[in-house]
Chain A
Amino acid sequence: GNSVTQMEGPVTLSEEAFLTINCTYTATGYPSLFWYVQYPGEGLQLLLKATKADDKGSNKGFEATYRKETTSFHLEKGSVQVSDSAVYFCALSPPGNQFYFGTGTSLTVIP
């Protein structure tokens, strides 16, 4: 079946620290992989995506690489800011449209 497992939070970092949020998946076929971000009281926004193995998605200083051999899509950022405080969701979508989301990881960045 299809599922996503992501690192449990909450995660608290100081400003300018390095961020890694782990995400692993199980999937049938060849899914696309996504990271979405949710700010307090809002809907989800697409942060980045990768559609095939070895692709790297990147946006706003965040990066994630589609690793088929380890079935992973870890989110990284070299230097976090207070404005990055949010909940981050890893998701996969096999061909056919349905999405499967992880449980979310809450990130708080303190000045």
Chain B
Amino acid sequence: DGGITQSPKYLFRKEGQNVTLSCEQNLNHDAMYWYRQDPGQGLRLIYYSQIVNDFQKGDIAEGYSVSREKKESFPLTVTSAQKNPTAFYLCASSIVGGNEQFFGPGTRLTVL
């Protein structure tokens, strides 16, 4: 079955540690996205990529980094510079120029 996988589903880290969230898709989509979801604030765009080896900052990129070395993969690193990293993180993908985004199941990150 085609789809988007995110792992792990739950992640716990100590304050000051970097952590990397995985996102993989087998939909053959060129575009991939990372969103952060906080209660009552909807989804906010962190980074997006429309082609391998290229990506752009979204609305809240500070404290995050990404890479896009393969079409299928778009990992997100939450660095120690992110002031309030506890949140639900969603990965999505789409065809470039398409008008629907497909979402993964999300990773809930808790920083202790």
> Which one of A40-48, A62-70, A72-80 is at the B interface?
A40-48
Residues of chain B contacted by A83 (CB below 8 angstroms): none
Q: Are B41 and A43 in contact (CB under 8 A)?
A: no
Q: Measured between alpha carbons, how far is A101 from B94 in the docked complex, in Å?
A: 16
> Interface readout for A13-47 with B: 1 if CB under 8 Å, 0 if not?
00000000000000000001010100001111110
Asked if residues A97 and B40 are in contact (CB atoms below 8 Å), the reply is: no
CB <8 Å contact, B100 and A89: no
Q: Is the CB of B50 within 8 A of A97?
A: yes
Complex contact A43–B90 (CB within 8 A): yes
Q: Is the CB of B43 within 8 A of A46?
A: no
How many whole Å from B12's CB to the nearest CB in chain A?
Answer: 16
From A42, which residue of chain B is reached at the shortest CB distance?
B105
Roughly how many angstroms separate A97 CA and B94 CA in the complex, as a whole number? Answer: 8
Given A97-B94, A97-B96, A42 contacting B101 (CB threshold 8 A) = no
Closest to B97 in A: A97
Assess the A93–B99 pair: CB atoms within 8 A: yes
C-alpha spacing A46/B90, complex, angstroms: 14
Residue of A nearest to B30 (CB): A97
Interface size class of A (residues with CB under 8 A): 20 to 34
Tell me, in angstroms, the Cα distance from A89 to B90 when the chains sit together. Answer: 14
Given the complex of chains A and B, what is the CA–CA distance between A93 and B43 in angstroms? Answer: 14
A99-B31 Cα distance, complex, nearest whole Å: 12
- Would you call B48 an interface residue if the criterion is a C-beta within 8 Å of the partner chain's C-beta atoms? yes
Specify which chain B residues have a CB less than 8 angstroms from the CB of A45 in the assembled complex.
103
Complex contact B100–A46 (CB within 8 A): yes
Are A103's CB and B99's CB within 8 A?
no
Which residues does A use to contact B, with CB under 8 Å?
32, 34, 36, 41-46, 49, 51, 89, 93, 95, 97-99, 101-104
The 8 closest A-B pairs by CB, nearest first: A43-B103, A103-B42, A32-B99, A44-B103, A101-B43, A43-B105, A101-B42, A43-B106
